[in-house]
Amino acid sequence: MKRFYLAPTIGDGSEEDSFRPAIANYSVAYASWMPDVPVFGKMVLVEVATNDHSGLLADAQFSVLPAYPVDLQVSSMNSGDYSGLVDTLNEYAIPDSAIGGSYWDTLVAISVFLNEQARYGKAAR
């Protein structure tokens, strides 16, 4: 099953210790939406595909986003998932305006905002 997480960036950017999401420390398949200018500690959006998310869900450095089909409209999300999404975005100072359209549109908006945070040094968590 695939899930999306917000995870801190680790590494120093060198060849020996490249920037990557902290999820890389787990044995899971992942794809990260790294910012143009990665910065240690800044959050990135990560898609994880695994049958067992329990280790990631138990790790306090990660914030999980709702498990929801990316092609469906966020407006059709159940109230609990929607509230969880809003709460997570508020935790990272991501504006509610990032939410809208399909879940995919929302994920893209989140990634764009996180990229701007990394690039211009806006506060995160």
Mapped to the 3 state alphabet, what secondary structure does 5-38 carry?
EEEEEECCCCCCCCCEEHHHHCCCEEEEECCCCC
Q: Is a pLDDT exceeding 70 seen at residue 101?
A: yes
Confidence of residue 125 (pLDDT cuts 50, 70, 90): very low
Stated pTM of the model: 0.89
Confidence of residue 118 (pLDDT cuts 50, 70, 90): confident
Averaged pLDDT for residues 38-52 = 90
Residue 120: per-residue pLDDT: 75
Q: Is a pLDDT exceeding 50 seen at residue 124?
A: no
